[in-house]
């Protein structure tokens, strides 16, 4: 019997015990955004430290940050083999509205081979899989094929405000050959995916000020600038009729898609018609020359997220608004620096500033994009491990959203990041009735186990 056959038998034999242990972890209401759950956060951190002790891992620590603690452990006895740093988070989202849950959010319940509980998919269930994979390897072989380090935080759901400084401070301790994160999803049911890139983020708010107060449109209309008109003029200048961004220098550093990447996207057979039906539009919109997946995964954007100003109550009020504003975010791709993009936006607004108003720009969330090269050996090895278990080709995808801490890892530790998730977009994470398909729990344990063997064969 091969090592992987032994591991598979171990998971089958201990499945019920493992699920009961996961339920225990899920019962802890570790909601990071609510101060009344501070003790629960500490409880969850200690639960993980205890789990590490049971696995006979070493150098276990709970480090208190200015917010919630970071839990660390390692095992470094695979001489000459690569070191894998596992990241995940043990905090969860609030459960509101409670009345929409079919079972108590912190009373884990299995229905239709799905485990329902807050954190089941995001991210306790997937973190737990890391632990059980290590347990199975030790139990069946007495050792691990690679060196491992673990860093689990309690602030991901509130933006990981203190983790970058932790990573910077303990940079040498965290030094590894790759980071493995299971906090993403499959491409679809039965369709594994390796996400090798995420877009970054840059956000600003534009505030336009005209007269010292709202003015009567009959007395002053046509003679004094209207703040909303001025704002609309600025907003209209950002993009052309096809959505191509008109900010000078915006695209200068954008990395083009390789032909191998474009071919991989085409091979997914993505149905753009399904998007129209899903969101309720008759046609899609975006840069010419790119498919929907290319636009949403690998091209930068500039979107107006909100506009405010003037009178919006019932009826009409004949005024020239003195103030107006808009919130804007840009999704960025590799090689675009958030600070540089914000500077370009400010220069664009100044260049297109209408007469008769003053403008103030405030900066908000910023984070760089991340990309592990599509053909990187660690990425391709992940694809092979998925295919062995799911028995279908692996999709290689990018994520259109942003996970700032992933970019921080990439920037500070300067090592490849591999996103190997097992959730599904339909699993209601952040919403009532969050759940995790146990089919992917079972298969994911086997994929992760195989992946460590795949990594062990790669040159350090």
211-239 average pLDDT score: 97
- Residue 66: per-residue pLDDT: 95
Per DSSP, helices labelled H in 360-437 are 377-390, 404-413
Asked if residue 401 has pLDDT above 90, the reply is: no
98-108 average pLDDT score: 97
The answer to whether the CB of 205 falls within 8 A of the CB of 325 is yes
In angstroms, what CA-CA distances link 415 with 82, 184, 366? 12, 19, 21
What burial class does residue 259 get, using C-beta atoms within 10 Å of its C-beta: 0-12 exposed, 13-18 middle, 19+ buried?
exposed
In angstroms, what CA-CA distances link 286 with 77, 272, 283, 303, 307? 51, 13, 10, 11, 21
pLDDT category at 58 given cuts 50, 70, 90 is very high
Digit-coded pLDDT (tens) for 244-289: 999 999 999 999 999 999 999 999 999 999 999 988 999 999 999 9
Nearest to 283 by CA among 272, 294, 293: 272
- Residue 36: per-residue pLDDT: 97
- Window from 90-94, 208-212, 255-259, 436-440 with minimum mean pLDDT: 255-259
pTM listed for this prediction: 0.87
- Residue 460: per-residue pLDDT: 62
pLDDT category at 233 given cuts 50, 70, 90 is very high
Asked if residue 353 has pLDDT above 60, the reply is: yes
Token pair recorded at residue 241: 């009729």
Token pair recorded at residue 188: 């679809």
Residues 6+ apart with CB under 8 A from 453: 3, 4, 145
- Residue 402: per-residue pLDDT: 80
Token pair recorded at residue 170: 């303990």
The answer to whether the CB of 383 falls within 8 A of the CB of 211 is no
- Residue 27: per-residue pLDDT: 98
Pairing between β-strand 109-111 and β-strand 114-116 as defined by DSSP bridges? antiparallel
Digit-coded pLDDT (tens) for 164-187: 999 999 999 999 999 999 999 999
What angle in degrees, to the nearest 10, is found between the helix axes of 438-456 and 3-13? Answer: 150
Asked if residue 439 has pLDDT above 70, the reply is: yes
What angle in degrees, to the nearest 10, is found between the helix axes of 3-13 and 15-26? Answer: 60
Whats the size of the chain, residue-wise? 460
Domain boundaries, the chain: 1-196+368-455, 199-253+299-365
Digit-coded pLDDT (tens) for 23-39: 999 999 999 999 999 99
The answer to whether the CB of 293 falls within 8 A of the CB of 270 is yes
Nearest to 352 by CA among 216, 180, 232, 212: 232
**CA–CA separation, 351 and 366 (whole Å):** 23
What DSSP element (H or E) covers 132? Answer: helix 124-141
Choice between 25 and 401, residue whose per-residue pLDDT is larger: 25
Asked if residue 2 has pLDDT above 70, the reply is: no
What burial class does residue 391 get, using C-beta atoms within 10 Å of its C-beta: 0-12 exposed, 13-18 middle, 19+ buried?
exposed
On average, the pLDDT of the chain sits at 95
What DSSP element (H or E) covers 407? Answer: helix 404-413
CA angle 368, 164, 416 (to 5 degrees): 60
The answer to whether the CB of 175 falls within 8 A of the CB of 376 is no
149-161 average pLDDT score: 95
- Residue 20: per-residue pLDDT: 98
Choice between 404 and 365, residue whose per-residue pLDDT is larger: 365
The CATH number of the structural domain formed by 199-253+299-365 is 3.30.70.360
Token pair recorded at residue 128: 């737990």
Digit-coded pLDDT (tens) for 127-142: 999 999 999 999 999 9
Digit-coded pLDDT (tens) for 327-348: 999 999 999 999 999 999 999 9
Asked if residue 1 has pLDDT above 60, the reply is: no
What burial class does residue 211 get, using C-beta atoms within 10 Å of its C-beta: 0-12 exposed, 13-18 middle, 19+ buried?
middle
- Residue 128: per-residue pLDDT: 98
**CA–CA separation, 8 and 453 (whole Å):** 14
The CATH number of the structural domain formed by 1-196+368-455 is 3.40.630.10
Which residue carries 């053909």 as its tokens? 375
Nearest to 394 by CA among 451, 437, 332, 441: 451
- Residue 3: per-residue pLDDT: 79
- Residue 319: per-residue pLDDT: 94
**CA–CA separation, 296 and 293 (whole Å):** 5
b/e 428-455 (16+ beta carbons within 10 angstroms → b): bbeebbbbbbbebbbbbbbbbbbbbbbb
SS3 117: coil
């Amino acid at each position: 019997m091969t090592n992987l056959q032994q591991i598979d038998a171990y998971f089958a034999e201990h499945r019920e015990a493992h699920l009961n242990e996961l339920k225990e972890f899920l019962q802890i209401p570790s909601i990071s955004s609510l101060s009344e759950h501070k003790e629960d956060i500490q409880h969850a951190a200690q639960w993980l430290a205890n789990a590490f002790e049971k696995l006979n891992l070493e150098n276990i620590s709970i480090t208190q940050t200015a917010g919630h603690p970071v839990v660390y452990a390692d095992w470094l006895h695979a001489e000459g083999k690569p070191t894998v740093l596992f990241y995940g988070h043990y905090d969860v989202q609030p459960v509101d509205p409670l009345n929409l849950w079919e079972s108590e959010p912190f009373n884990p319940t299995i229905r239709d081979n799905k485990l329902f509980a807050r954190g089941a998919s995001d991210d306790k269930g997937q973190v737990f899989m890391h632990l059980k994979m290590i347990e199975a390897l030790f139990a069946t072989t007495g050792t691990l094929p690679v060196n491992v380090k673990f860093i689990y935080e309690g602030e991901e759901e509130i933006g990981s405000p203190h983790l970058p400084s932790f990573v910077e401070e303990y940079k040498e301790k965290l030094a590894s050959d790759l980071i493995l994160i299971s906090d993403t999803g499959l491409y679809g049911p039965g369709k594994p995916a390796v996400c090798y890139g995420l877009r970054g983020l840059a956000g600003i708010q534009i505030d336009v000020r005209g007269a010292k107060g709202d003015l009567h449109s009959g007395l002053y209309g046509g003679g004094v600038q209207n703040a909303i008109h001025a704002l609309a003029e600025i907003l209209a200048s950002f993009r052309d009729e096809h959505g191509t961004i008109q900010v000078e220098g915006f695209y200068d550093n954008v990395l083009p898609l390789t032909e191998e990447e474009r071919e991989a996207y085409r091979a997914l057979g993505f149905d753009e018609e399904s998007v129209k039906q899903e969101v309720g539009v008759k046609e899609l919109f975006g840069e010419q020359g790119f498919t929907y997946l290319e636009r949403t995964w690998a091209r930068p954007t500039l979107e107006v997220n909100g506009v405010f100003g003037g009178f919006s109550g019932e009826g009409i009020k004949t005024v020239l608004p003195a103030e107006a504003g808009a919130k804007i975010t840009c999704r960025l791709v590799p090689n675009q620096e958030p600070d540089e993009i914000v500077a370009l936006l400010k220069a664009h607004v100044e260049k297109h500033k209408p007469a008769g108003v003053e403008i103030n720009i405030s900066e908000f969330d910023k984070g760089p994009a991340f990309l592990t090269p599509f053909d990187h050996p660690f990425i391709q090895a992940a694809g092979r491990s998925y295919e062995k278990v799911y028995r279908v080709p692996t999709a290689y995808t990018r994520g259109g959203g942003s996970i700032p801490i992933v970019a921080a890892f990439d920037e500070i530790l300067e090592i490849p990041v591999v996103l190997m998730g097992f959730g599904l977009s339909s699993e209601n994470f952040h919403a009532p009735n969050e759940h995790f398909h146990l089919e992917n729990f079972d298969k994911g344990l086997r994929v992760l186990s195989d992946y460590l063997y795949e990594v062990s064969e790669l040159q350090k």
